[in-house]
A and B are shown apart, each in its own frame.
Chain A
Amino acid sequence: MENVIELQNVTKSFKGFQVKDLSIAVKKGFVTGFIGGNGAGKSTTIKLIMNLLKQDSGSISVFGLTHETNERAIKERIGFVYDENIFYENLTLKDMKKIIRPAYQQWDDAIFQKYINQFELPLNKKIKTFSKGMKMKASLAIALSHQAELIIMDEPTSGLDPVFRRELLNILHELMQDGDKTIFFSTHITTDLDRIADYIIFLNDGEHVFTKEFYKIQEDYAIVKGPLDLLDADTEQEFVAVQKSNIGFEGLTGNKERIESLFGESVVLEKPTLEDIMYYTKKGGRLNG
């Protein structure tokens, strides 16, 4: 399968923070969710992909092209939705459109107008009067109005109410119908991913933990609950991390079958949520580090 985005051994260091030796790929025609806690490196990675930051080492390609030689061609084909305000506050959306439109050869006014109506956005009010959700919708309307093949979104649902979040997922499902488009988005609200994500890329402390098909995660990982006497120095190694209390333990495993064969009926296994996986991985990393 074709990769739309490819990062190979990418490293970017800041004072006190680093994205380390990151190698990830985003597949064409699918939705890839990008998860990780605060400071995991999601926004840095997205900025690297958008060429808003330059990597210290490693290579990045988008549509098989690199920013060094094809920045304009790449950006023409990406619809970018960013969680911070990218607009001039004192302009109206109508003014913003006039500024942005010439930047894209494939700009389509009819599509833009369709989304403005659908999102109920005012064209003639200054953007500084917009709520966070309205700014996000405006950013999305622009991103969707130039026939982009790749939609990249940084925390698109964070400022949105549950009703619009659901609407957004419907819009994304709609976009995916022809099979040519690719969506890559980071999010904290992992329940949004249940409804749409094909692949999950998980980052923890600047490092790539896994890229997996969504359903595979629930085949590999499990939340394990059991009595404390099952745990000793050896068996505890079988878990990503465990949490003990007076009445028993709860832990996360990345090898469900092995736990089943080790403990059998003496433990209870449950489907983990992405939040469980993020929580225990972070906890495990802290203990080992």
Chain B
Amino acid sequence: MQIIISNSSKEPIYEQITSQIKKQILTGDLQEGQALPSMRQLAKDLQISVITTKRAYEELEKNGFIYSIVGKGSFVSEQNTEMIKERKMKVIEEKLVEAIENSKDMGIGLAELKEMLTLLYSEEE
């Protein structure tokens, strides 16, 4: 597992850790069942406080990326691709709802919004 943290970054250190571990799990660099270093070992290696690594691991556990066994350590969870997909779908839905609300505020109708979406979508391709 490779983690690089920057002290000058605006992103809090625990977030830098969680996002890098998440990425490595999603890309398959960290495999299901693989053991992560202990919180205290990781703190020592990164020269940061234990409470920071603890928070990062707790966050990853909460989001289902890793699980912990008392006395044994933390491991990469089985990644349910369906679940990840669903989670991402939910984010898309939320963003779309936001766009719809903004459109309504400005009196933009569905047809016009669809047009905008089509245009933007084709531009991204």
Contact = CB atoms under 8 A, between A and B. Distances in A.
Interface in A197-246: 197-199, 213-215, 218-219
B12 A218 contact: yes
B47 A195 contact: yes
Interface stretch (A37-45, A61-69, A153-161, A174-182): A174-182
Contacts, number: 48
A198 B50 contact: yes
A196 interface: yes
A219 to B, nearest CB: 7
A195 B50 CA distance: 10
Given A194-B7, A215-B55, A176 B13 contact: no
Interface in B13-47: 13-14, 38, 40-41, 43-44, 47
A149 to B, nearest CB: 16
Q: Could you say which of A170, A198, A213 has the most chain B C-beta atoms within 10 Å of its C-beta?
A: A198
A215 B41 contact: no
B50 A215 contact: no
Interface of A: 29-31, 169-170, 173-174, 176-179, 194-199, 213-215, 218-219, 271
A217 to B, nearest CB: 11
Given A194-B7, A219-B12, A214 B49 contact: yes
Contact of A30 (B12, B38, B44, B50): B50
Q: Could you say which of B10, B14, B40, B51 has the most chain A C-beta atoms within 10 Å of its C-beta?
A: B51
A177 B44 CA distance: 8
Contact of A179 (B7, B12, B14, B40): B40
A198 B44 CA distance: 12
B49 A198 contact: yes
Given A176-B50, A199-B51, A214-B51, 4 more contacts: A31-B50, A213-B51, A215-B13, A215-B55
A215 B43 CA distance: 14
A256 to B, nearest CB: 12
A173 B51 contact: no
Contacts of A198: 49-52
B91 interface: no
B37 to A, nearest CB: 11
A86 to B, nearest CB: 29
Contacts of B92: none
Given A214-B52, A215-B55, A173 B47 contact: yes
A177 B38 CA distance: 9
A174 B50 CA distance: 12
Contact of A177 (B41, B48, B55): B41
Given A195-B47, A215-B14, A176 B40 contact: yes
